[in-house]
Structure formats: C-alpha cells, structure tokens
Structure 1
C-alpha cells in the first residue's frame, strides 16, 4: 500500500515532468545525455518507463530514432554491467557462510548450475531483448561468476535489438499513442516471445 501511494504521489508525477522536459529538449537540441542517464538509472536502480519515453521522443524527432535508441541501449547496458558487478562482489559477503546458515545451499547450487551452463546466456538474452526480471538476472549472473565477455556480448546485443525495435515501430507509426508494429516487426516480436518462453525453462530450474 505504501509503495502504491509512493508511486502515485511521487514517481508518476516525476516521470511526467521528465518526459515533458525531454520532449522540449528534443525540439530545441539534444536530449541524449539525459536519456542515457535515465536509461542507466532505470536498469540499475529504479524501474522507469524508458520505452515509453523513447516512443515519445521518436514521435517528436523521428529522424533521430537511431541515435535515440542507441543512447538508451547504451545507458541500459552500462546499468546491467553495474548490477553484474554488484552481484559479483556481493558474493564475497554472502557466500559460503550466509548461504549455508540460511539453508539455501541446494537453491544456490541450482542457480549456479543454470548460469554456468548454456542456459545462462539464454536467460540473459531473454531479459535483455524480450523483457523480464532484468536486475535479478544480471545480479545473479555476476554472483555466479558467469563469463563476463559472454554476459556483456549477449546483454549488449539484446539491449540494442530491443530499443531499435521499439524506436523503429514508433517511427513507422507517428500517432501519439503506443504504435502498432508493422508485420515484419511483429514477426520479430514473435521470435522474441519464443526465446523468452524457452528461457522460462531456465528460470524454472532455479526453483
């Protein structure tokens, strides 16, 4: 209840103000720096409706859709790297003594086995491209010592693909509402959903 009240009274008005300012900057100059920071914060700390902001900006300046989506992807990618590092260094404080004392040894071993197998990349690809528990997945990747180059490569491609897809669909439909995806993009979205569904098996192995 308290969280719902906080969202209604504080977060939503703040997001509305930020979105309005972004649109003003989009017409006057470049909102790229602010957009990068918001994407970073949204992926590393506080959930923000960054996709909706991107759609609004693409509607305002459609000729800059590639720069806008690339900037948002970069900010979100850096945020994912930060949460990976949080998980990586947090492991030294909670494992092995804390995991053992909390009776989570078996659960931790399952998480470890998933992320150190081929499923780890699948899970990261799903949350980076198709959506899902982004922060949890990236923190778990760091905590389980998932190969960093593999993690960064999959995360980067997923974020770029996701935001380019959103921006491209917004550019093709300049209406003020959330755009309807053209047939080609709907096909890509179905593929993403398929990947996400397959990765659900990987998440299921965690429980």
Structure 2
C-alpha cells in the first residue's frame, strides 16, 4: 500500500497541478498522510530549478498549517490523537513525548522536525502534551523551513543523488544536538540536586 501511495505522489509531481498537489501532500503529511513531501519536492525542483525557493516555501507553509491540524487533533480530540499515535507504533507516545517536552521543551520540535522522523508524531504529541501553541508555531516554521529549503538547495545545486547523504547528516546533527542537551540537563540535575525522572528512549 505504501508503495502505491509513493508512486501516486511521484506521479503528482509530474502533473500540471504539481504545486497544488505539493501543498496538499505537505499539509496532509503533518497530521496523517504517511508519505513525506520531499519525494515530490525533489523532482519538481529538478524539473524547474528556477522555482526551487517557491516550491520550498509552499512545502513550509502547508506543513505548518497541517501541523496546526495535527496539534488540534491532539489537543481537542485526545482519544483520536492517542489512537493515531497507537496505530503508528507509538502506543506510549503521549507519556513519552510529554516527558520530553517537560525536560527539553521546544528542542523536541526543533530536533524532530528537522530529521526524517514522521512530523505528524510531533504535531499530534504537541497537542496531547498541551505544549505552548505560539512556541509550537515558531519552532515548526523554523524547522520545516530549514528542512525544505535545504532539500531544494541540494537538489538545485547537486541533483537528487545527494539527498540520502543530507538526510543522514540531518539525523546526525540532530542527534548531536540532543546529546548536548542531555549532557547539559544531566549536569544541571546533579549540580542543582534535583530528582527528576528520565524519559523513555
């Protein structure tokens, strides 16, 4: 099923309604759709390098708006949000993400929104955890813009063959950031003598 969806999304990238389709896929991916918009963004930028920044902007705007829908599902429709986390293999996602938000705050959105981790998990969990909505919007805009404009830049300059390397580097950089955060928070924990619990991995 995922392969059929992937092929369908790729076919949309070649259609004359590609920008509208890119907006729709980017919006849906932030709350429920399983295929990331990168698979449309890359061939569209390759076909029209002069529109690379326009396409990246479409992805960013639609992804943030879709993220608002994901946040609303978690915040206002908690049972549905929990069910969606469960069917995507994150049955304990609510407690896990809430723990991360309590300890790391906005860094959770910044780190996870930049990496290949499904962003819908972040948006729904943000609503479930009742994370600050203004901060959610700011962090989502920053992290999604960074991701999509970087993808557009790489494809425009080097072609799609570089994308897997960039994705690996994004995950690496986000991992280093999280590691530094954990080290800093652990140090403050011991220096301050607090007794907070650890989140699940």
Q: Name the TM-score, length of structure 1 as normaliser.
A: 0.70
Taking the TM superposition and a 5 Å limit, the aligned residue runs for 1:52-201 are: 52-91=39-78, 108=95, 111-117=97-103, 119-174=104-159, 178-180=160-162, 189=170, 191-195=173-177, 197-198=179-180
Question: What is the aligned partner in structure 2 of residue 46 from structure 1?
Answer: 33
Q: Distance in 2 between matches of 1:42 and 1:93?
A: 17
The CA deviation string for residues 138-176 of structure 1, in whole angstroms up to 9 with x for no partner, is: 2221112111101110011100110000010000024xx
Q: What is the Cα deviation at residue 32 of structure 1?
A: 1.8
- 1:157-206 deviations in whole A, cap 9, x for unaligned? 100110000010000024xxx3327xxx79x845445235557889x714
Query: Structure 1's 205 and 180: CA in aligned 2 closer, same or farther, altered over 3 A?
Result: same
Alignment TM-score, normalising by the size of structure 2: 0.72
Could you tell me which residue of structure 2 aligns to residue 22 of structure 1? 13
Q: Retained in 1: the 8 A contact 2:12–2:40? A: no
Check 1:111–1:41 CA distance in 2 against 1; reply closer, same or farther (3 A cut).
Answer: closer
Give a deviation string over 1:42-81, Cα, whole Å, max 9, x none. 2211211421211111110000000001101111111111
Quick one: structure 1 residues 164 and 93, their matched pair in 2 at CA, closer, same or farther if it must change by over 3 Å? closer
1:39–1:75: 8 Å Cα contact kept in structure 2? yes
5+ residue gaps, structure 2: 82-93, 186-197
Q: 1:144 to 1:17 in 2, by over 3 A?
A: closer
Aligned CA-pair RMSD: 3.4
Q: Is the 8 A contact 1:120 1:141 kept in 2?
A: no
Whose Rg is larger?
A: 1
